[in-house]
Structure 1
Amino acid sequence: MKRTDDIPADPMERARLLRRVHSAVLAGERAPHAPRPVVFESWRRSLAASVDPDRVEPPMSFDVDRLAEIRAAHPIAACVPLLRRTLLDAADGTTHIMVITDAEGNILWREGHPNVCRAADRVRLSEGTTWSETSMGTNAMGTTLATGRPVQIHSAEHLVRRYHSWTCAASPVHDPETGRILGSIDISGPLHTMHPALAALVAAATTLVESTLREWMARRDERLRERNMGALRALRGEPGALLSATGRVVAAEPGDLALPERVELDRPEGALLLGGREARIEPLGDGYLLRAPRAAATGARSSTAAGRDGQLPPTLRLRFLTSRPTAELRGREVSLSPRRAELLAVLALSPDGLNAEQLALALHGEQGNPVTVRAEIHRLRTQLGHDVVQTKPYRIAAEVDADFLQLRAALRAGRLDPALELHRGALLPSSEAPAVREEREDLLAGLRGAVLSARDPELLWRLADGAAGRDDIEVHEALLVVLPAQDWRRPTVAARLHRLLHDPA
């Protein structure tokens, strides 16, 4: 089976190959070419959802007479004119159409040249229809919503055969307020119009929309602060916060109360327990005021007071070498966005602290903006508390217990057994922050080099059997040399090595 990167560049030739792949895979036969991983996994999900590859048309989610009402209520609605001016013009409206869906894959807008729209009508690629993976199988809109990543689907990469004459690229739109997916933006057209730049164009359009939504959110936050900071300061030292309409923390005073990024608003009579205190939520005109009175009786306060008011700082535990990075502060898990995880990783790697310019460089490279970093730090301090993340310079004032720092220490001490135990995965594998990427590569290179140098069969096996060494030819070659002739693992290692050398795909 050929590798996925050998697919022909010509759209028509590629379509012919993909049709043979599609037929072979669905028939359970050996395919002439391996499907792309994103496509194969989508086919698997779609077939598990009982999607019929011979399905004729998508289901209708709502009548067209409700379209205006549904569009008006959707957050992307205000950005549609922006997309018309940019995406359609840039993509050449004579050969493509722009499609915008909600989070469930329901098409809310479809615009483009009339001829292409008429062709889309013939296959029910139209407003009101549903294009989720569970409804229509693999397609750019449904698959981008299922994966949360930009996707390009060409010809017979669509699971349903009726759409093999189409090519499409889509990207998900995330709500900066909640982080949830709002919908998708898609460019579709006849298969001969496929171009590698389409995916980048749609991703750029999505970034533009998300930036616009983020700017509007920042303006709402600023208006909320302008109108209501007086109510927060009127608490006269009593801990409190301003919350957005969705419960997101917008401002807090003073900073000795560790707050989550978002407060659940749907609680009986507005009361909740926060850091051992009964906090209350009071409605404001465009948000909420959270109050956490100091006067809580008791054992819960006395057990935590020593950490804040005495000599012992709180402990911040970071587990970033796993598929799901987590943080824990004062015994409670803290919800982290990818950006805040990167921030904490960089600060943990710089115990002496960084100024805004240094932090911007570490997170964003030469294009980093200190103003953006200050805003990110402000939100992180609001969530964790000003006693945990301090300024001038920016640093973590808590006791840091981080698995990647433990791994670094174990490698420096030559303790390879605990190092292999700690390296359950790469450090924040999706992060492209320069400082994180450099540390991730250094940790993997250090672990690999130390284990190869040790020539210990047990250590080499653990490395080869884990994610870090599973596809490493040199590790398997070294392991085959040191394993005893009768060791049960030799056939497995030899088979893997043969596969790596002769079938890289």
Structure 2
Amino acid sequence: MDAVGKRLARVRDQALSGVEPRGVRPAVRASWDRSRSSGVRPDRYLPPVALAENDVFERRREHPLARVWPTLERTLRTSLDGPGRILFLSDAAGHLLWVNGDRSTVRRAEQVNLVPGGQWSEEAAGTSGVGTTLALGRPFQVRGPEHYLSAATKYTCSAAPIRDPITGAVLGALDLTTEPLDGAEGLALSLVISTARLAELQLREYAHRQHAELQRRYVSRLASRLGSHSAVVAPDGRVVFADPVGWLPDRWYLPLQEGTTVLPDGRSVVIERLAVNGPFFVMAQEVEVDAAVVFGGLGLDRAWLRVDGVAHELTMRHSELLAILCAWPGGLSAEGLAREVYGPQGKTVTVRAEMTRLRRILGYRLASEPYRLVGPVRADFLDLEQDLPSGSIGGLLDRYRGPLLPRSVAPGIVELRARVHERLRTRVLAEGDPDSVVRWLAAPHGRLDRLP
């Protein structure tokens, strides 16, 4: 350890022993105070590995910084040559999602939980490059003994936040860590700041391309279908596209919440989220359409769905997902949907990908966290089941065109299908007149005592 490191180590020892520290940067001192208030213990403590391997993989797939990680690696590749240097990229909560460095250095870092899934926010790890950068919202460097945790004092961490170019929100932190102090700390921080800015430029370029694609995919199609005024509004309220031009002001000042809202001038509009973090599609309600989402799946391998008066034929997988959502009005988490459709081994990442595709049809009527259908919903199998106690048997048989999604093997569909079928069979055989019983037994599905 050089003279600077030895001096910092003495100051740190004084601070941890209760002596008022002198010769420490104000920002580091303030971070130590925050770390102490958070209950972080500097000795015999390591940050938690809060995310399991599958969780890390899923967050990488969904995180906006996944688009720029390859650029960050290429840009800083020469800085990672040789031992003692590691590159980290975290999310906004301080979870390390990406790690790159030579094998021996990465293995040593694993001993202090500098690993994918490790949580290095200030609340969890005290003063550190990632945690303090996220706490301050600006580039920051933590040199050796400036770390609050004793296990991290051999590292120097240079970090910079990466912000969403549209909203300005912090998406995560880029951190270049070296061991030990090697005199190149100032250069490392400058390099990290420049690379973070490059990532933000790339994100901005991607956002512009995404807006153009959204305009092409959503605005033109929906406006031509409904003949309505429409617009795309960015998460920060900027109206990035309007058709016709000028029907909305340049900035949206109302809350951007999915559903129907009324403008100050009395016009009613529908707001639909086009991506997880925006932008939003805004459409004037100028035509009267059926407000209900209507689902039909009895006797069909591929269900149909009617939204805004337009019918859609669904894929089998989308048929299964929507049938489950119709039967669960309170909604299901991604994990719950995965179990109902794919079984115990179902993956949430697969469900989320399918729900993104379904959103193109359902728009704001498909809510998330949990996934659920918004507004009135009608489904042929649920309507039939509701009418079973009092409906005429002849009328019920007319409506029962066959079991729900008969070729589906999704666990949730198998259960729903058997429930509706068995209840109808029981009523027909117990209460039906001879003609209804014969009619039931003559149907292909009626010859079965119960569905397999």
TM range (shorter): 0.5 to 0.7
TM-superposed CA distance for 1:183, in Å, is 1.0
Counterpart in 2 of 1:20?
10
Counterpart in 2 of 1:273?
262
SS for the counterpart of 1:218 is helix
Deviations 1:347-390 (A, max 9, x none): xxxxxxxxxxxxxxxxxxxxxxxxxxxxxxxxxxxxxxxxxxxx
* Structure 1 residues 283 and 164: CA distance shift in structure 2, 3 A: closer
Aligned partners of 1:277 and 1:292 also within 8 Å: no
Q: After superposition, where does 1:306-325 map in structure 2 within 5 Å?
A: none
Counterpart in 2 of 1:223?
213
Distance in structure 2 (CA, Å) of the matches to 1:247 and 1:232: 21
User: Percent same amino acid at aligned positions?
Assistant: 33
Deviations 1:434-479 (A, max 9, x none): xxxxxxxxxxxxxxxxxxxxxxxxxxxxxxxxxxxxxxxxxxxxxx
* Structure 1 residues 232 and 244: CA distance shift in structure 2, 3 A: farther
Distance in structure 1 (CA, Å) of the matches to 2:263 and 2:110: 54
Q: After superposition, where does 1:59-458 map in structure 2 within 5 Å?
A: 59-195=48-184, 196-227=186-217, 230=220, 240-243=230-233, 249-252=239-242, 253-255=244-246, 257-258=248-249, 260=251, 264-267=255-258, 270-281=259-270, 283=272, 288-291=280-283
Distance in structure 2 (CA, Å) of the matches to 1:172 and 1:244: 22
TM-superposed CA distance for 1:151, in Å, is 0.6
TM-superposed CA distance for 1:232, in Å, is 8.9
Distance in structure 2 (CA, Å) of the matches to 1:75 and 1:285: 15
Distance in structure 2 (CA, Å) of the matches to 1:245 and 1:147: 23
Distance in structure 2 (CA, Å) of the matches to 1:61 and 1:225: 39
TM-superposed CA distance for 1:285, in Å, is 7.6
Distance in structure 2 (CA, Å) of the matches to 1:121 and 1:164: 15
* Structure 1 residues 241 and 169: CA distance shift in structure 2, 3 A: same
Distance in structure 1 (CA, Å) of the matches to 2:25 and 2:283: 52
Greater Cα radius of gyration, structure 1 or 2: 2
Distance in structure 2 (CA, Å) of the matches to 1:86 and 1:241: 38
Aligned partners of 1:133 and 1:146 also within 8 Å: yes
Aligned partners of 1:95 and 1:193 also within 8 Å: no
* Structure 1 residues 145 and 65: CA distance shift in structure 2, 3 A: same
Distance in structure 1 (CA, Å) of the matches to 2:128 and 2:144: 10
Number of aligned positions between the proteins: 282
* Structure 1 residues 153 and 261: CA distance shift in structure 2, 3 A: farther
Q: What amino acid sits opposite 2:69 in the alignment?
A: V
Aligned partners of 1:248 and 1:262 also within 8 Å: no
Distance in structure 1 (CA, Å) of the matches to 2:249 and 2:96: 41
Aligned partners of 1:232 and 1:289 also within 8 Å: no
* Structure 1 residues 260 and 43: CA distance shift in structure 2, 3 A: farther
* Structure 1 residues 190 and 288: CA distance shift in structure 2, 3 A: closer
Q: Which moved more, 1:85-94 or 1:182-191?
A: 85-94
Aligned partners of 1:88 and 1:98 also within 8 Å: no
SS for the counterpart of 2:261 is strand
Q: CA RMSD in A?
A: 3.2
TM-superposed CA distance for 1:238, in Å, is 8.5
Q: What amino acid sits opposite 2:53 in the alignment?
A: V
SS for the counterpart of 1:69 is helix
Distance in structure 2 (CA, Å) of the matches to 1:237 and 1:255: 16
TM-superposed CA distance for 1:79, in Å, is 1.8
Distance in structure 2 (CA, Å) of the matches to 1:187 and 1:285: 35
Distance in structure 1 (CA, Å) of the matches to 2:210 and 2:261: 25
Deviations 1:136-194 (A, max 9, x none): 10001001111110110001111112211111101111122432211111111212335
Distance in structure 2 (CA, Å) of the matches to 1:25 and 1:176: 39
Distance in structure 1 (CA, Å) of the matches to 2:179 and 2:83: 11
* Structure 1 residues 201 and 119: CA distance shift in structure 2, 3 A: same
Q: TM-score, normalised by structure 1?
A: 0.50
